[in-house]
Amino acid sequence: MHNDRHLVNIALIGFMGTGKTSVGRIVADQLHFEYVDTDELIQSQTGRSITDIFAKDGEPEFRALEQKTVEELVGRMKTVISTGGGLPVNPKNLASLKSHALVVSLWSSPEKIWERVRHQSHRPLLHDKNPQAKIRELLDAREPFYKQADVLLNTDLRSVREVAQQVVHQFRLEASHRR
């Protein structure tokens, strides 16, 4: 299916609270890959928190930093890349990731997402009067982008370990097709 692509990395995309970070860390451990997170890269490169960038410079500046970070990932090998929830909305980001990574989308229902994020406060897009409605609205708008991944995994009924196992399995399957 992806024979013309040389997939040496794994990229996890999906909405906030779908488990990209927890799954990504386990997958990296199992494959002996490095683990990176685009939000963490942005924060370490700018020395600022995501909340601060959103508050002082606005979302467009954050999206520009996000795109730059994605471009800098080209050339990496054996890396699991966890991405910010809005990153695949920019088609350049998805195209760039697809050039070197198996792109796996973690999917959850708005209810599960709310359960997972409700006690966290570090996500500026959910600092809203009605965060549950905001989740539904963003999820609806982003669904077509998340669905462009190579692999879609619903995480509602699976444990983090099971999801990680599926990701590892799909990556190995992909690698074996290329031999």
- CA dist 7 and 97 (Å) reads 10
Environment class of 140 (CB within 10 Å of its CB; exposed 0-12, middle 13-18, buried 19+): exposed
Binding segment (CB under 6 A) for ligand S3P, from list 3-11, 70-78, 84-92, 171-179: 84-92
Quick check: 39 binds ligand S3P (CB under 6 A)?
yes
- CA dist 79 and 83 (Å) reads 12
Among 84, 94, 167, 168, binds ligand S3P (CB under 6 A): 84
The smaller minimum CB distance to ligand S3P, of residues 34 and 177, is found at 34
Binding segment (CB under 6 A) for ligand S3P, from list 23-31, 95-103, 121-129, 143-151: 121-129
The smaller minimum CB distance to ligand S3P, of residues 98 and 123, is found at 123
Q: Which of residues 126-165 bind ligand S3P (CB under 6 A)?
A: none
List CB contacts of 4: < 8 A, sequence separation 6 or more: none
In whole angstroms, how close is the CB of 80 to ligand S3P at the nearest point?
A: 14
CA 117 from centroid of its chain's CA atoms: 15
